[in-house]
Amino acid sequence: MTNKDKLLVDFIIEGTKNGTLRWEPTASEDELLATLRGSHAITIRRFQDFPDRLKLRNSNGQEVLELDGNDDQRINTIYRLAQRNAFDVDKTIDEILGPDRPITDDDIPF
């Protein structure tokens, strides 16, 4: 795994956490897709008995990079983050909790 690969993983994690990278489900049940810079795509796929796998495709749809959880343990975290992002899990939880939920110390970031 190169330094650039690590920077890409950092970029994906940060973008997924802050919402600038939006994930979508694919036809495969355990796979999610996000578009990067309009023409490149990444997929993250979860496997039951193997590490999660991240693939990068260029603007021609060619697979140019494949990383898995053995390359970087953070790959295994990306699927869970991407799933929350793709299915708006936090929004769903907010709808369930409702607007009258009291604010706690945990809600304040400082």
| pLDDT tens, residue by residue, 55-84 | 999 999 999 999 999 999 999 999 999 999
CA distance 80 to 72: 15
The model's pTM is 0.82
Is 44:10 a contact under the CB 8 Å cutoff? no
Handedness of CA 16, 20, 25, 31 (dihedral sign): negative
Residue 95's domain comprises: 3-107
Contact by Cβ (8 Å): 67, 50: no
Exposure of 5 by Cβ count < 10 A (0-12 exposed, 13-18 middle, 19+ buried)?
middle
Domain count of the fold of the chain: 1
